[in-house]
Amino acid sequence: MIMSAPEPISASTKKKADRRTRRERSRTAAAVILAILITVFAVLNVNDVKIKWPGGSGKAPLIIVIVVSLLVGALLTHFAERRRAKKR
């Protein structure tokens, strides 16, 4: 197997790599900040709340109620968008 020497990196290629690295750093920083905010939000919402269902009631931590509501909303939105896309 014959191996060739790597091509020299041009200035434009290096600039793109630097830009990508900067973008990745900003995305990572944003993800870390978002994770910290979600953690603080979860810690502040640990109180139990009473949940009333049509067939009964129960208690659960508020953060669980919020997360389940968020997931159900996201799931319903996903299926509604898929159904709308099928009609087109």
| pLDDT higher than threshold 60 for residue 17 | no
Name the residue ranges covered by the structural domains of the chain. Answer: 11-44, 47-88
| CB distance 46 to 61 below 8 Å | yes
pLDDT of residue 63: 87
Cα 9 to the center of its chain, rounded Å: 35
| CB distance 64 to 51 below 8 Å | no
**Percent of the chain, pLDDT > 70?**
77
Report the alpha-carbon distance of residue 24 to residue 83 in Å, rounded.
34
| pLDDT higher than threshold 60 for residue 1 | no
pLDDT of residue 38: 85
Token reading at 55: 């067939």
pLDDT of residue 49: 93
80 or 9: which leads in pLDDT: 80
